[in-house]
Amino acid sequence: MKKGMRRKLGLCFLLILLTSIFLVHAQIVKPNKKEYLQGDSVYVMSTISASDTLCRANTNEKVKLFIVSHRDSWGGGEVINDVRDSPSDVPNTRFSLEKVWDGSIAGKYDLIIDCNENNAYDSGEPLYGEGFSIIAKKALGSVSKFREMKELSWQYDPEELTLYKEMLSLKISVTNEDVSLKNISLQISGDKAFNIEALEIYNDNNDKVYTQDDSKIGEYQLENTTKNNIIINIEHTASKDSDNILFVVIKLKPETEKGNYNIELISLHGQGSLSNSLITFSGTPIKSSVQILDKKTCLGNVTFSLPSFVGQEEEVKATVSGFSGCDGKQVVIKSDFCYFPSSYDLASCTISGSGCDVSFKALNNDSLYVCIDKNSDGDYSDFSESKSYELIVAPKEQILVNETNKSDENETINVNSPVTGEIIRENNPVNEFLGGTNGIILIEVTLLLILFVLVMILFKLKGPVSISEFDATNAISDEEETEEKEEKKEKLRRK
C-alpha cells in the first residue's frame, strides 16, 4: 500500500515537473510590452538560457517567427498565417530585442516559433499565447472648402429645367483610420428659404464636379418649413490619407422667388473604423450663398436664314429668328465658337419681335456662329444660345472667253475677248456636279448613242420589205417603158 502511494505521488510530481517545464518553454519568446499604438514598431525577446536554443530539434541559426491573430487556446495542428507579408527570421538562441514589425495595425496577436517549418502550430513549439494588443490611434478629421462657391446664381429656365444647385463643395480629410460618416448639420438662412424643397448630400464619383450621376448619401425634405439646425444622416466612409469630396445640393421649387439664400455647414461627425471613437471634424462652420435671379423670359431656338452660297466679298444678308420675349437682346455673328476669346465679330443686330436682320461681307468658305446670351449670365453655354451654320463662298468670277472664227479662206482664228463670251464661276456647284468639261462631253456621247438606238428601233417596227413585190413593181415599170418606146417608133414611121 505504501509502495503504491509512493508510485502515485512520484508520477504526480513528474507530471507537474513536465508541465512546468513545458509552460516555461512555451513562454520563452514574448514581446517587449503588452500594448502598442497603431503604427508603432513591435520588438520581441527570448528568455531561454544562454546555452539553450528556441528549437532544440532544429540546428539552424535562424528560425521563423510568426505574428498571428490571437486565439483563446492553441491545441496543436492549427494552420498559421502571418498578418504581415511574411514571417521574421530570429536567432535560434537567446536574444534581448529584435524588431519584427514596422507600421503595426490595430488588433490582438500571438507569437509562434515554427520550429518544424510546416506553417502550422505543433504542440511544444515556442508560443506566446496571452496575446499583445495594438491600439488604434483615434482618427483626426478636418473639413474645408474644396472649391470656392461665392457669388453663385440660379435662374429658373423653362427650356432646360434643372432645379438642383450645388451650394457647398467640401473636402473631407482623415488620418490614422477610415471614418464612417454619420451625420452632417446644416443651417439655411434667407427670407425666402421656404422655396427650397430639399437638401441633398452627394459623394463625388472622381470627376470632382457635381453631376446627378454622383452617389447620393443623404437627403432631407424641408416640407415648406425651415429650421435653424438641420441634421441629415449620411452613409459614407471617408478613406484615410486621401481626399474625399462631398457636395451639398439644394433642390429648388420652380416658383422660387428672387433673393439671396445661404447654406452653412455647422458640424460633421463620424466614427473611427478601428478605434470606434466618435470623430468630430474640425474646420466648421463653412458658409456659402446663392443669388436667385428672375425667371428667364427670353425663349426660343436660334434660326439663321442665309443664302446657300455667295460670291467672295459679296454682301451677305441674313435673318436671325425664332425668339420670343427677347426684345433688346443682341445677336452676334462670330467667326469661331462663341466662347472662344479669339473669335471676332462679323456682324450684330438687336432683336425686335422674333428676330433681326444682319449683313456682312463674305470672305471664305467657313462656319458661322450665331451667339445670344438669353439669360444675361455672361456666357453662351445655355440652351440654344449658340448655333453654327455653313456658308459656301465662291471665289471672284473669272471671265474666260474663247471665240473661234473662220475666215473666207477656211482659216481658223482664235480671239480672246474681254467683253463677250462665256462667264465661268470657279467652284460652280453645277459644274462640280457634272464633273467639269469631261463630264459634259461624256453626257453628249451618251445622248448620241441613245438617239442611234431609237432610230434602229423605229426601222425594226416598220417590218421587212418583200422581195417578190419589189421585183414585180420593177417588172411593171420596165414593161411600160418598152411600150412607150414602141409607140414613139411607130409614129416616126408614119411620118
pLDDT tens readout for residues 19-57: 434 333 445 899 999 999 988 999 999 999 988 999 988
What separation in angstroms does the CA of 433 have from each of 24, 364, 366, 429?
A: 104, 21, 21, 6
Look at residue 478 and tell me if it is in a domain: no
Look at residue 1 and tell me if it is in a domain: no
Look at residue 8 and tell me if it is in a domain: no
User: Pick the residue with more confidence: 254 or 9?
Assistant: 254
Cβ(277)–Cβ(269) below 8 Å: no
Whole-number mean pLDDT of the chain? 80
Q: Residue 433 — pLDDT band, cuts 50, 70, 90?
A: very low
CA distance 352 to 268: 53
Same domain, 334 and 246: no
Cβ(184)–Cβ(267) below 8 Å: yes
DSSP secondary structure letters along 107-124: EEEEEEE-TT-SSEE-TT
Q: What are the tens digits of pLDDT across the range 434-445?
A: 445 556 677 877
Average pLDDT over residues 125-136: 93
Same domain, 173 and 198: yes
Final residue of a structural domain among 292, 308, 325:
292
Same domain, 40 and 98: yes
Domain harbouring 341, CATH code: 2.60.40.730
Look at residue 281 and tell me if it is in a domain: yes
Return the C-alpha cell found at 412: 481658223
Final residue of a structural domain among 394, 423, 448:
394
Same domain, 210 and 250: yes
Cβ(200)–Cβ(246) below 8 Å: no
Same domain, 123 and 28: yes
Cβ(377)–Cβ(370) below 8 Å: no
**Given this model, what pLDDT does residue 67 score?**
97
Look at residue 490 and tell me if it is in a domain: no
* Portion of the chain with pLDDT greater than 70, in percent: 77
| pLDDT reading at 2 higher than 60 | no
Q: How many Cβ atoms are within 10 Å of 354's Cβ, its own excluded?
A: 16
Q: What are the tens digits of pLDDT across the range 91-106?
A: 999 999 999 999 899 8
Domain harbouring 158, CATH code: 2.60.40.1290
**Given this model, what pLDDT does residue 151 score?**
64
Q: What are the tens digits of pLDDT across the range 352-363?
A: 999 999 998 887
Same domain, 267 and 150: yes
| pLDDT reading at 488 higher than 70 | no
Q: Where are the beta strands (DSSP E) in 32-163?
A: 35-37, 42-46, 62-69, 78-79, 88-91, 98-101, 107-113, 120-121, 127-135, 140-145, 152-154
Q: What are the tens digits of pLDDT across the range 204-225?
A: 987 778 887 889 999 999 876 6
Q: Residue 432 — pLDDT band, cuts 50, 70, 90?
A: very low
Same domain, 144 and 287: yes
Residue labelled with grid coordinates 454622383: 214
**Given this model, what pLDDT does residue 325 score?**
93
Same domain, 276 and 309: no
Which are the contacts of 97, defined by CB distance < 8 A and separation ≥ 6?
32, 43, 44, 45
Final residue of a structural domain among 135, 154, 171:
135
Same domain, 335 and 270: no
How do the residues of the chain divide into helix, strand and coil, expressed in percent and rounded to 5? 20, 40, 40
**Given this model, what pLDDT does residue 428 score?**
45
- H or E stretch including 394? strand 386-394
**Given this model, what pLDDT does residue 76 score?**
92
Domain harbouring 60, CATH code: 2.60.40
Q: Tell me if residue 368 falls in helix, strand or coil.
A: strand
Q: What are the tens digits of pLDDT across the range 378-399?
A: 888 888 899 998 888 887 653 2
Look at residue 482 and tell me if it is in a domain: no
Same domain, 287 and 196: yes
**Given this model, what pLDDT does residue 483 score?**
63
Same domain, 145 and 281: yes
Which range of residues forms the domain containing residue 449? 398-463
Q: What are the tens digits of pLDDT across the range 446-474?
A: 888 888 888 888 877 765 544 444 444 45
CA distance 374 to 351: 11
Q: Residue 423 — pLDDT band, cuts 50, 70, 90?
A: very low
Look at residue 495 and tell me if it is in a domain: no
Q: What are the tens digits of pLDDT across the range 257-313?
A: 788 888 899 999 999 998 899 999 999 999 887 878 788 889 999 889 988 778 888
User: Pick the residue with more confidence: 263 or 415?
Assistant: 263
**Given this model, what pLDDT does residue 321 score?**
92
Same domain, 150 and 217: yes
Global pTM reads 0.55
Q: How many Cβ atoms are within 10 Å of 132's Cβ, its own excluded?
A: 22
**Given this model, what pLDDT does residue 229 score?**
84
Look at residue 472 and tell me if it is in a domain: no
| pLDDT reading at 415 higher than 50 | no
Q: Provide the domain count of the chain.
A: 4
User: Pick the residue with more confidence: 376 or 403?
Assistant: 376
